[in-house]
Amino acid sequence: MMSMPRCLRICGGNDSLRGTDAMPATTMIDAIRDALDVALTDDPTVTVFGQDVGYFGGVFRCTAGLQKKHGIDRCFDTPISELGIVGVAIGMAAYGRKPVVEIQFADYMYPAYDQIVSEAARLRYRTAGEFTCPIVIRMPTGGGIFGAQTHSQSPEALFTHVTGLKVVMPSNPIDAKGLLLSAIDDPDPVIFLEPKRLYNGPFDGHHDRPVSPWRTHPMGEAPLGRYLVPLGQAAIRRKGAALTVLAYGTMVHVALAAVEETAIDAEVIDLRTLLPLDLETIVASVRKTGRCVVVHEATLTSGFGAELAALVQAECFWHLHAPVERVAGWDTPYPHTNEWDYFPGPARVAAACRRVLEVQ
C-alpha cells in the first residue's frame, strides 16, 4: 500500500489553544505551548523568542497565542539567525533572564553550534559560577514527515558529547510539558529536542496506517497547571523479562509496536533525558533481562547508541547473554523519497530483538 506523503505542517489551522487556560492539552504541540504558558505566567523573567514564534505562533504552532496573552516583550519574533537567537539568549541569561528559544528545525542549529558549545555550555565553568546560562533551546527533531535531509535530522549526539549541556527528548505530551517546565527551571543550558512526528499523535513507525490521535493514548492528555517531570529519570514503558530495549522520542513507540507485534516479552525503557542519563534504571533492567537492544533514529556511527552500548557493556558484562545490538538510521543523509527505507521502523527493531534472543 502506498503511503500518503505528509507535508510539513507549516500552517496549522487550529488555533483553539488547547493546553492553555481551561482545556487540557491533547497534542504534544498543545502540551509544549501549555508549558510555555505556565512558565511565562509564573516567572516574569521567562522570555520566549525565535523565528516566527511571535505573532504567527511558530511554524508548528507551539507558541500560538502566547504573544497575544503575555505581550510582545515576553514572546517575540527574531530575524533568521540561529547564531543570533542563541547568542542573544546567552547574553540575556547572563543578565538574569530565562530565555526559552526555538530553533525552527534542529537541522538549522549548526550556525548556532559555536555559541552552544563554546559559550552556553562553558560559561558557568569558565567563570567559576559567576556568570551562568540557564537557557532552553527547543528544536523540532527527527523525520517521518517527508522533510528530507534538512528537516529530519536527530542531532542529539552532537549535544550529548558537549559537557555542560543537558539533553532532553520527550516521547509524549505529559512528559513534554513536565520535562519542559523542569528544563526551564534548570540552572544550566538544556537542549530540548521535540520529535516532530509525535507532535500530533503517537507514531509507531507504521507509516502506511491511519494516524492515531494523542487523545486516545494514556500519555496523551497533559494535566492543567504546573507539574514537573524531573530531568535525569527514565520511564519504563513496558515491563518485560526477555530483553531490554532502550529508546527515546519517536522510537519509544516504534519499539513498543515491535515487541507487541512479535510477542517478545521485552522491557522498553524511555530514556526521556539523555544527559544526565538514568543509568541506574538501565542497569537494573539489563542485569535482569541479560539482553539489550538500543534504538535511535539518528545515524548509527558515533550515535548516542554507541554510548549506551558501551555503558551497558561495562556495567552489565557478567549479566549479558548476547552482544548489545544497535538499531539506528543508516549512515546516510536522511533521504526524501526513500524516507521509510531509511527510518528504523518496527520490522528492523523486531529483527534486532530476535537476533539478540537467538544467542544462547
Partner 1 sequence: MKPVERPLELFFAEPAVRPGAEPDFSGLDLPAAGSLRRPPVDSPAEEMRDMAFGLIRLLDDDGQAVGPWADTLDLDDAARMSGLRHMMTLRAYDARMLLAQRQQKTSFYMQHLGEEAISCAFHLALRSGDMNFPTYRQAGLLIASGYPMATMMCQVYGNDGDPVRGRQLPVFYSSKSHGFFSISGNLGTQYVQAVGWAMGSALSGDDKIAAAWIGDGSTAESDFHAALVFASGYRVPVVLNIVNNQWAISTFQGLARGGAGTFAARGLGFGIPALRVDGNDYLAVVAAARWASERARRSLGPTLIEYVTYRVAGHSTSDDPSAYRPSGESACWPLGDPLMRLKQHLIARGLWSEDRHVQAEAEIMGEVQAAQKEAEQIGTLHSGRRPSPAEMFNDVYAEMPPHLRRQRQLAGY
Residues at the interface with partner 1 (CB under 8 A): 45, 47, 73, 78-79, 81, 83-84, 87-97, 99, 111, 114-115, 118-119, 123-132, 163-164, 166, 187-188, 232, 275-277, 279
Cβ atoms of 116 and 162 within 8 Å: the answer is yes
Q: Is 319 a catalytic residue?
A: no
- Site of grid cell 542573544: 88
Is residue 66 packed enough to be buried (19+ CB in 10 Å), middle (13-18) or exposed (0-12)?
buried
Of the pair 5, 187, the CB lying nearest partner 1 is at: 187
Give 136's strand partners: 100, 190
Grid cell, residue 100, equals 526559552
Of the pair 79, 218, the CB lying nearest partner 1 is at: 79
Of the pair 87, 173, the CB lying nearest partner 1 is at: 87
- Site of grid cell 548489545: 324
Give 291's strand partners: none
Q: What secondary structure does DSSP assign to 197-258, as a single string?
A: GGSSS---S-TTSPPPPGGGSTT--BPSS-----TT--EEEE--SSEEEEE-THHHHHHHHH
Of the candidates 151, 207, 253, 296, the residue annotated as catalytic is 151
Question: What values do phi and psi take at 81, rounded to 5?
Answer: -155, 100
Of the pair 84, 333, the CB lying nearest partner 1 is at: 84
Q: Quick one: which of 321, 317, 267, 270 has its CA closest to 296?
A: 270
Q: Which residues are within 8 A (CB) of 346 and not within 5 positions of it... i.e. 6 or more apart?
A: 204, 205, 206, 254, 257, 258, 261
Of the pair 49, 203, the CB lying nearest partner 1 is at: 49
Q: How far is the CB of 18 from partner 1 (least distance, A)?
A: 28
The set of catalytic residues is 151
